[in-house]
Structure 1
C-alpha cells in the first residue's frame, strides 16, 4: 500500500521539486482556526502537515510552539479527537497528514493503540521525535505493516548506521538541521554537513529526507534544495502565522514555493552520485 506522503514525494520528484511540510499543534489556535489554517496552507501548495497530539511540547520545540501547544490542548478531548480534526483539515483527498507524538502522549495510550487510532482516522504517517532511533525503527516496521508512513526523526550521528541497516523500505527521514530548538537560527554549513553524512551512511539505499529546525523562508529552502534535500519543514513560522489567521499562513507557503524547484531534481542525492562515479 502506497501512502499519500509517499505518492506526494514521488510526484514531486517527477515534477523536479522538493516538498514542503508544515507543523501545527492539533486545535491551534482553535479547532476552527486550525482547520482554516490547514486549508489555507494546502490551498497555497503545502504538501504535508505534521500535527502534534494534545499535551505539552518539550523544550526541543522552543517557547512559541510550547505556548501554542498549551493553548491548543484543552480544546481537544483526546488523541482520537485530534486525529479526526487533523484528517478533516485536508483540502484535497491526497493532502498528507502526519501524526506527531511526544513521549508524554504515551502516558495514556500504547503505541499499538495509537497506530490503531491513526488508521481509524485515515491519517497517513507517524513521527516520534523523542523516541530513540531503535524504537522509531521498530514502530516504523509495525506502522508500515498497517499502511502508515513512518517518518524517522534523525538528530544523532550514531543513528545513521541503524537506519542504514533497518528493514524499513525507502525511509522518510526528518533531519534536524543542527543541535538547536525549533525557531533557532539556521546553520547552513551544519545542514549541508548532515545531509552529506546521511548520503554517505546510506550508501545508495533509497530514502527521502526533509530538513527542519530553523527553516523559515526562501533562503533556507533554496539552500536545502541545492544541497540535495527532498523537502523542507517549516514549524515555528507556520505556527506564528496560524495565530494571525489563514491569510498569514498562505503567505508563508507562497513565500517559499519558488525555492522548492531543485536544480538537480531527479538525480541521486549528491553524495550518492559521487559514490557511483568513483
Structure 2
C-alpha cells in the first residue's frame, strides 16, 4: 500500500494542484504551542509537516530556525519524544509527517535505530539534508523495508547524475538556490533548477517540492509556473508559530489559492 506521503502526492496530481510542506521544530515554542500550530496548518490544508528534531544545527539554517530548534530542544530533548510529539500533530490519518534529521543526530543514534524509532512513532518519511545523495539513496533502500519514505534533499549540482541513475520515482526536496533557510528567494534560479531537473529525468517519474527562501503567494506561484509539484515554507511558519499558532494557519490559507499546476493547466485563475 502506498505511504501517506505518496498517497498525498497522487491525490494532489489527480486534483491538478501542488502540495504544500511546512516546517516546524519539535516542541517550539512549547509542546502545546507546537501542536496548536500544526493543527492550524493542517486544518488550513497543509499536506505535510517537516519536523525538526533536537540536535545541533548546521550553517544550512538561518538564525531564526537555529534559535527555534534550540528552544524546542529544551522542551523535547530526545529523538524518541520529538518523533512521538510530531506524529501526534496529525489532524487526519492522511496527514503526512516528515522527520528532518541533521548529521549530528547520528553521532548519538545509528541510522537503523533511528529508522526504527521513526517507524515506531508512525512517522511517514525522513529528510536528511546533510547526507550525500548516494547515502540518502542507500538509507532509502533500508527505510523502504520499514515502509518509510526518504525525501531526497538535492543541492542539484554534482549529485544530480547519481539521483537520476539510481533512483526510481523519487520524492525530491530541491534547494531553490545555494543559500541558508530564510534567505532571499530567487524565482529565476529556482526555475532554472527545475528545468535542469526535468531535463535530467527526461520523462522518468519523480515528484519535486522546492524550499529555501519560499515565503508566500508570489514565490509559490512562481514555482507552480516553473513545473514544481509543490512548495516548502519554513522560516516564515516558524516565525508565526513563535507569535500565535493561528498565524501559521493564516499563512497556509494565503498560499492555498496559488497551488495550481500551471505547467499543466496553462493558466492560473488567482495569480497574485
Q: Please give the TM-score of this superposition, normalised by the length of structure 1.
A: 0.93
Name the residue aligned to 1:216: 215
Say whether residues 1:44 and 2:12 are aligned partners: no
Moved more, 142-151 or 83-92: 142-151
Ranges in structure 2 where 5+ consecutive residues have no aligned partner: 267-272
Name the residue aligned to 2:154: 154
Measure the CA separation in 1 of the matches of 2:60 and 2:77. Answer: 25
SS at match of 1:175: strand
Name the residue aligned to 2:132: 132
Give the 5 Å matches for 1:248-267: 248-265=247-264
Name the residue aligned to 2:107: 107
Give the 5 Å matches for 1:47-126: 47-126=47-126
1:175 to partner: Cα distance: 0.2
**How many residues are treated as equivalent by the alignment?**
266
RMSD of equivalent CA atoms? 1.2
**1:26-64 Cα deviation digits (max 9, x unpaired):** 111111111110000000000000001112221111000
Ranges in structure 1 where 5+ consecutive residues have no aligned partner: 268-278
Name the residue aligned to 1:199: 198
Name the residue aligned to 2:181: 182
Measure the CA separation in 2 of the matches of 1:131 and 1:266. Answer: 36
1:66 to partner: Cα distance: 0.4
Partners of 2:227 and 2:262 within 8 A in 1: no
Q: Which runs of 4+ in 1 moved over 6 A?
A: none
Measure the CA separation in 1 of the matches of 2:135 and 2:24. Answer: 24
Partners of 2:179 and 2:212 within 8 A in 1: yes
Measure the CA separation in 2 of the matches of 1:204 and 1:262. Answer: 17
Partners of 1:17 and 1:265 within 8 A in 2: no
Q: Please give the TM-score of this superposition, normalised by the length of structure 2.
A: 0.95
Measure the CA separation in 1 of the matches of 2:85 and 2:181. Answer: 24
Residues 266, 160 of structure 1: CA spacing in aligned structure 2 closer, same or farther, 3 A cutoff?
farther
SS at match of 2:56: coil
Residues 266, 88 of structure 1: CA spacing in aligned structure 2 closer, same or farther, 3 A cutoff?
farther
